[in-house]
Amino acid sequence: MPFRIALFLIASLGGAVVAGLLSQWRQLWLGAWVGALLWLLGDAWRAQQLVNALRDDVAGLGVRRMGVWGEIAERVRKLLRVREQQTQQAEDRLKEFLAAIQASPNGVILIDDQGRIEWCNQTAAGHLNIDAERDLLAHLSNLVRDPAFVAYLASWNYSRDVVIDGPVVQVGGQGRPQRLSVQVHPYAGNRRMLLTRDVTALEQADAMRRDFVANVSHEIRTPLTVLTGFVETLQSLPLEADERARYLGLMGQQAQRMGTLVQDLLTLSRLEGSAPPPGHQWTRVRALLAHCEDEARGLSSRLSTQGHRLSFSLEADSELSGAATELQSAMSNLVSNAVRYTPPGGEVTVTWRLLSDGRGEFAVRDTGPGIAADHIPRLTERFYRVDRSRSRETGGTGLGLAIVKHIAQRHGAQLRIESTLGQGSRFMLVFPVARLRPARPQLVAA
């Protein structure tokens, strides 16, 4: 401010001096006023330049000027630069925030107070079958016409979520709609944030849990009913020794059936909750096949006096890494199933060979009734049976193939099933190269 006063006085004095030199000294005051006026006009012109720069061309502030207006321009330029940096940082944070929401597995939709879409991520667009760009500012209730959703959105009672059908997805070769959980959260007055979540797997798991409990209850209830009936008979009726022995034998069979069921359930539980099998423990395939053969011949003789034609062959003596008890359980399950479901006199062939790519294949072929193609994808489900009455006659629990599948997955193997009605079935366990090595020669004690 003192600098501006000094300039003003210098301009006035200069005008007076010029007037004195050009005319007479008595015109000094007029010259001083003219000088002051010229200074004011110049100062106003510089102020107008600053106003124009602020209004139209902010880049013009970058030119450093003298005087108070130059100082003002410099300070404004610095403030604008700080504001631009803050704005850029805010925009970068907003982009990061939107990118994080885009990457979320849950859908997010922002709705204005009129129910129109302000923004949504691609997950929500896929869930509700809308276009994230084309459908902006469209009413959401006009795009998603599910009655439950429309009623929920209009109710303004968002204390709970609503579950609706989403797009159709392929599950097991069949088209099934996704199940979506939709929850709305009001914010900023009447604006709303809508969250969508795919709960298909949760509903399937819940359905599996209910089916599992129902199946276990059913499987245990049947032998318990038989046991209860026999116990009441033994308690209430005088029986001959042979009848009593027959009833006790049937009771023993039912008790054994329940014991087998409990054992299979414990096996499944142990497989699901235990650590992965070790990779440094090796078991000879020859020993595994020998154990399977002993069990198969004993089972065949118990099921029928005629027996079965059993064949076991080992094309390449190899060793498998993993848990020996689990590998034996998986192979024995496949072999015993083949024996149980093959009619007396039928043929069961068990082979081990190395494939051309170095993997190992354990295969069990039978001449049983075969399995229809639509049943094959579900064979490894717990308690799933093609023929329930046949399974009970042979003593199966419905958990054998589920156990085989878990063991195969734990050892990196694949369970393959081929079957044709009336022509038998072929079950294969294909082990990866990393789980195989040639059998080492056994040391013979001197």
Structure-token pair, residue 207: 């359905």
Q: What is the CATH number of domain 104-198?
A: 3.30.450.20
Structure-token pair, residue 351: 């082979």
For 118, list phi and psi in degrees, rounded to 5.
Answer: -95, -35
Name the segment(s) of the chain with CATH classification 3.30.565.10. 277-446
- Dihedral, 281, 286, 292, 295 alpha carbons, nearest 10: -110
Classified as helix, coil or strand, 421 is coil
HSE-up of 184 (CA within 13 Å, CB side)? 20
Quick: pLDDT tens for 124-135: 998 888 888 888
Cβ atoms of 12 and 39 within 8 Å: the answer is: yes
CA distance 152 to 257: 50
Helices (H), 56-179: 67-103, 122-128, 140-143, 147-155
Cβ atoms of 153 and 164 within 8 Å: the answer is: no
Strand ranges, E, within 162-317: 162-171, 174-187, 191-198, 282-284, 309-314
Q: Using alpha carbons only, what angle is made at residue 437 by residues 431 and 440, rounded to the nearest 5 degrees?
A: 140
Structure-token pair, residue 144: 């998603």
Architecture of the CATH domain 204-274 = Orthogonal Bundle (1.10)
Q: Which residues of the chain have pLDDT under 50?
A: 1, 444-446
Cross-strand partners of 180: 164, 198
Name the segment(s) of the chain with CATH classification 3.30.450.20. 104-198
The per-residue pLDDT for 289 is 94
Cβ atoms of 113 and 187 within 8 Å: the answer is: no
Structure-token pair, residue 397: 């629990």
**Among 307, 310, 78, 107, residue whose Cα is nearest residue 196:** 107
CA distance 365 to 308: 13
The per-residue pLDDT for 444 is 46
Tell me 441's DSSP state.
Answer: P
For 27, list phi and psi in degrees, rounded to 5.
Answer: -95, 15
Number of neighbouring beta carbons within 10 Å of residue 157? 9
CA distance 147 to 141: 10
Cβ atoms of 235 and 145 within 8 Å: the answer is: no
The per-residue pLDDT for 445 is 45
Q: Give 56-68 as a 3 state SS string.
A: CCHHHHHCCCCHH
- Dihedral, 259, 265, 270, 272 alpha carbons, nearest 10: 170
Query: Amino acid letter at 77?
Result: R
The residues, ordered by sequence, that sit 6+ positions from 336 with a Cβ below 8 Å of its Cβ are: 295, 296, 299, 400
Q: Which residue has the tokens 């198969």?
A: 296
Name the segment(s) of the chain with CATH classification 1.10.287.130. 204-274
**Among 149, 154, 161, residue whose Cα is nearest residue 106:** 161
Q: Exposed, middle or buried by CB within 10 Å (0-12, 13-18, 19+), for 64?
A: exposed
Q: What is the CATH number of domain 277-446?
A: 3.30.565.10
For every residue of 309-364, DSSP letters joined together read EEEEEESS-EEEES-HHHHHHHHHHHHHHHHHHSPTT-EEEEEEEE-TTS-EEEEE
